Amino acid sequence: MSDVVDRLLDGAVDLHVHPYPSPFPRRLDAAEAAQRAADAGMRAIVVKSHHHDTSSDVAALREHGIAASGIDVFGGIALNTQVGGLNPHAVNLCLAMGGRVVWFPTIASPKHIEHHREHPQLKFPQLSVDLIPEEPIDVFADGNGTLEPEVHEILQMIADADAVLASGHMPAPSIIAVFEAAREHGVRRMIVNHPNFVIEATKDEVKTLAELGALIEHSLCMYDEESSFHNWQIDTLVDWIRWVGPEHSSLGSDLGQANNPYPVDSFRKICGRLLESGLSEGEVRLLVADNPAKLLGVDG
């Protein structure tokens, strides 16, 4: 089995790595994450922060470990309070500096804030520094479903840069509205993050998003019992993949937190379990390599 998993990870892509620096405790920086991925034969990773633009982190570490790894490393920006929310200036800077992914609000999404309040047991890291609490950032300008004008400006920037639009932690109706608008602006690359965590989308909502052209990403950390985010057994992941289809699905580690497994270790474990659960090598390869590479534009 290990030889098969090694083969599947050759050329794999992790679109969801959480390195240091961060107000949340982390166990590795982008350079170490890149080297560990490279040692496993992976071809690219994307590093994410809930609080700042990681394109600058990638630029700062390029000659201090990232370039030596030999793989592609991309940053991005999550549109939370610390970067000004729906801030076209921040998005412009990120994309101009080589950022590849724009996540709509995550920890500042009204859905995330509400979920955290109603579910205090939410398995989410605790801040290691004192920060002003997040203020909710909504994409709607009013109660009639009209998107804020900044949403359209940001979507056009993403389209012009041929970058990736990510759902963040918004509720499914907001994601659908933004992704529908994104298609009108010419955005070609879209991804939905962990649809059953915080977002709590229905399967029909997720299928609608897939029909809009979005890739549906599932976080390995939520299926690895060694992770503090462990929520579900592997059969839940298999069920989601079968429902939407492997051709519309991907796996991202969503790891890097202190005391959690290294991203590559979780990839090895969960890929093996998916094979044991009946997915074919070709289907798992779609999830970890072909689909995320195509989304990121490194499949050429």
pLDDT tens, residue by residue, 143-195: 778 999 999 999 999 999 999 999 999 999 999 999 999 999 999 999 999 99
pLDDT at 121: 62
Cα separations in angstroms, 39 against 33, 60, 68, 281: 10, 22, 12, 21
130 pLDDT exceeds 90?
Answer: yes
Is the pLDDT reported for residue 120 higher than 70?
A: no
pLDDT for residue 109: 96
Q: Which domain holds residue 206?
A: 2-296
CA 181 to chain CA centroid, nearest Å: 20
- Residue 117 has a pLDDT of 78
Contacts of 56 (CB under 8 A, 6+ apart): 75, 97
- Give the pLDDT score at 144: 75
The number of distinct structural domains making up the chain is: 1
- What is the reported pLDDT for 115? 79
Write the CA distances from 224 to 51, 130, 228, 253, 270, integer angstroms.
25, 29, 9, 10, 7
Q: What is the pLDDT of residue 145?
A: 87
> What is the reported pLDDT for 186?
98
CA distances from 139 to 80, 119, 143, 175 (A): 12, 23, 11, 9
pLDDT per residue over 5-46, tens digit each? 999 999 999 999 999 999 999 999 999 999 999 999 999 999
Residue 162 · residue 189 · CB < 8 Å: yes
For residue 99, give the CATH number of its domain. 3.20.20.140
How large is the average pLDDT for residues 110-123? Answer: 78
**pLDDT score for 125:** 79
pLDDT tens-place string over residues 254-296: 999 999 999 999 999 999 999 999 999 999 999 999 999 999 9
pLDDT at 298: 96
Q: Which pLDDT value is given to residue 68?
A: 98
| Per-residue 3-state assignment (H helix, E strand, C coil) for the chain | CHHHHHHHHCCCEEEEECCECCCCCECCEHHHHHHHHHHCCCCEEEECCCCCCCHHHHHHHHHHHHHHHCCEEECEEECCHHHCCCCHHHHHHHHHCCCCEEECCCCCCHHHHHHHHHCCCCCCCCCCCCCCCCCCCCCECCCCCCECHHHHHHHHHHHHHCCEEECCCCCHHHHHHHHHHHHHHCCCEEEEECCCCCCCCCHHHHHHHHHCCCEEEEEHHHCCCCCCCCCCCHHHHHHHHHHHCHHHEEEECCECECCCCCHHHHHHHHHHHHHHCCCCHHHHHHHHHHHHHHHHCCCC
Cis omega (within 30 of 0) on the bond before 173?
no
pLDDT digits (tens, 9 = 90+) for 241-257: 999 999 999 999 999 99
Q: How far is residue 297 from each of residues 61, 181, 292, 294, measured CA to CA in Å?
A: 22, 21, 8, 5
Residues 204-255 pLDDT 10s: 999 999 999 999 999 999 999 999 999 999 999 999 999 999 999 999 999 9
